[in-house]
Structure 1
Amino acid sequence: MATARLLVRPETRRTNSPTSANRRRRRVRPERLAPYVLVAPAVLVILGFRLWPLLLGVNFSFTGDGDRDGTPVGLDNYAELMRDPVFRIALRNVGLLVLLLPVAVAIPGLLATFLYLRVPGARVFRTVYFFPAVLSPVIVGSIFNLLLAYDGPLNAGLGAVGLGPADWLGDPHVAMFTVAAVHIWATFGMALVVFLAGFATLDATLIDAARTDGAALRQVIWHVIVPGLSRTIQFVFVTTMIGMLTSMFGLLYVMTGGGPGGATYLPEYYIWIQQGQMNRPALASAASTVLFLVMLVVGLAQIGLLRKATRED
């Protein structure tokens, strides 16, 4: 026994020595720091090229334009925005796009579901659906300007079946819906890819079990696929909303130019007009701040509602 103690004690002393502990710490520290080192470049880019310019823009929105350039004016720019009927139209159109957002998410979601369930020709459809996403907004706008012209092929087809022509881009009550529909068609391919990636994480046995129990397709989608893709749906909702509110400038510029009568103005187009044509950067900064706040509120509300709906299911 004594011999055994003598053999064990030196090893115990060596493993519990301060030198061994320091060596273990030195081995662990690089592993703990690795995630922070990998994330640091992205964080620096966000801080330097996103957050800092955003703060500068918010600060600039409280200064004046023209003769009052650089002079603090408080909330004068925001008050002028609220008095401007064109900006109010732009905010109304934001509300319209928010109402159309579920449609913009449901279309790629349903198409991704059919592709996941291996409908005939799924590979061909996948390519066709994604193709519009690689086209420039200028090209898309030019194509639909020809298709939707008053004497264009779409109205000619409607006239052939007795429905009569429609002024798709000249009617102020229709133009915004038309541009929004074109934007959804041109961009749903990216959301489709995200949904397909989400389906890759879905447990296929749940769908097979639901089918075995005799569940209809609608029940499978609502009770199996939607809960299983809740986080993917949240992501697509937020990114689609951001795209609809900040990426329609090209279509608006080519298809309507903000008309007719300002009916298709969105905040981003209003910002460009004030900054690029009216030379009012402070007012444009105020409009940018309002747009950011609207996106933040709508995005948080959407995430909250989707999480609540998922918990109830």
Structure 2
Amino acid sequence: MSIGSSPPSVRPPGGGRRAERLAPYVLIAPAVLIILVLRLYPLLLGVNYSFTGDGERDGQAVGLDNYTELLKDPVFRTALENVGLLVLLLPVAVAIPGLLATFIHLRVPGHRFHRGVYFFPAVLSPVIVGAIFNLLLAFDGPLNSGLGYLGIGPVDWLGDPDVAMFTVVGVHVWATFGMALVVFLAGFSTLDPSLLDAARVDGASLPRVIRHVIVPGLSRTIQFVVVTTMIGMLTSMFGLLYVMTSGGPEGSTYLPEYYIWIQQGQMNRPALASAASTVLFVIMLVVGLAQIALLRRTGRES
């Protein structure tokens, strides 16, 4: 071989190419195995168990009897109505951290202090949060005392069936939006700053910048936050419900998650609880897919 000439390329043998093709599957195999064993398999067992009976009919196939009983149960229907309420309140729960992240990204005065303060509630236990707000929202608590100084009558925040669910949802949003705020801030790091600069040069107002620049640029981040926030509302409010209202007053603050715990843990009806779990899973799946489809269409229109 002459001096200065490049060495001949060496092709990997057939076994080496096969190993390269298999390497990605080998790397993801542990995660897939964990999902199959700890997630998918228990889910299938729960769905299958929902078609069996409780009590004297334990283990016997009962068809759709459990689902029929759920639809006849006024408490479960209230839980489903509350799910609809959560869907209606979801835009507010997503808009709050989104707007705060926007102000922080635009470096409003005190943005560093605000960043830490807004995230602080996310590290608190739901039990602690519930206990704190039980004191603040008591009928003779500080909040109603402050309203009294303004000439406003006291509000039974946790004892009025028409108000209690809104109160618990508001506390949940306050306690959890810090995580969504962090996700939005991470999304802003991927946003092209030249687009914001061009909007400022053109004299665009903040609402127009948000609608035509920020929302399209953060469409994937918004999709992620919407889905995770909805899942959190449906599956992570048990602690607050248990501490603040225990499903009351008059069952007005029941959610499927709390209903499942009551049937499984107190009524000893695991098959009915499995049916309620299956309904909750289907609701989460349908709502999540519908929200993603709507956000994608909105992003294309923008």
TM-score range, shorter chain: over 0.9
Question: Is the counterpart of residue 147 in structure 1 residue 136 in structure 2?
Answer: yes
Larger Rg over CA atoms? 1
Tell me how far apart the structure 2 counterparts of residues 263 and 63 of structure 1 sit (CA, whole Å): 29
| 1:170-222 deviation line (CA, Å, top 9, x unaligned) | 00000000000000000000000110111111000000011001101111111
TM-score (norm 1): 0.92
Deviation at 1:296, TM superposition (A): 0.5
1:46 paired with 2:35, answer yes
**Which 5+ residue runs of structure 2 have no aligned equivalent?**
2-7
Which amino acid in 1 is paired with 2:100?
Answer: L
Cross-structure match for 1:87: 76
1:58–1:202 CA distance, 2 compared to 1 (3 A): same
Q: Secondary structure at the match of 2:104?
A: helix
Question: Is 1:234 paired with 2:227?
Answer: no
Cα displacement string for residues 15-47 of structure 1 (whole angstroms, at most 9, x for unaligned residues): 7xxxx65x3444444433333222222111111
Shift of 1:121: 1.2
The one-character-per-residue Cα deviations of 1:215-234 (angstroms, maximum 9, x if unpaired) are: 01111111000000000000
Higher helix share: 1
Partner secondary structure for residue 240 of structure 1: helix
| Counterpart code for 2:112 | R
Query: Structure 1, residues 275-312: CA drift from partner, whole Å, max 9, x if none?
Result: 00000000000000000000100000000000011111
**1:114 alignment partner, one of 99, 103, 114:** 103
Q: Deviations over 1:236-260 (max 9, x none)?
A: 0000000000000000000000000
Aligned counterpart in structure 2 of residue 68 of structure 1, from 38, 41, 57: 57
**Cα RMSD, aligned residues only:** 1.3
Structure 2 partner of 1:224: 213
* 1:120–1:25 CA distance, 2 compared to 1 (3 A): farther
Counterpart-to-counterpart distance in 1, 2:212 and 2:36: 41
Quick check: 247-256 or 42-51, which moved more?
A: 42-51
State the identity %.
Answer: 79
Determine the structure 1 residue equivalent to 2:159: 170
1:292 aligns with 2:281: yes
1:239 maps to a residue whose letter is: T
User: Which residue of the other structure, out of 121, 126, 139, is the alignment partner of 1:137?
Assistant: 126
Counterpart of 1:4 in structure 2 is none
Q: Give the aligned residue type for 1:248.
A: M
What is the rounded CA distance, in whole Å, between the counterparts of 1:130 and 1:44 in structure 2? 34
**1:39-70: CA deviations, max 9, x gaps?**
22211111111110000000000000000000
**TM-score normalized with structure 2 length:** 0.96
From 187, 198, 223, give the equivalent of 1:198.
187
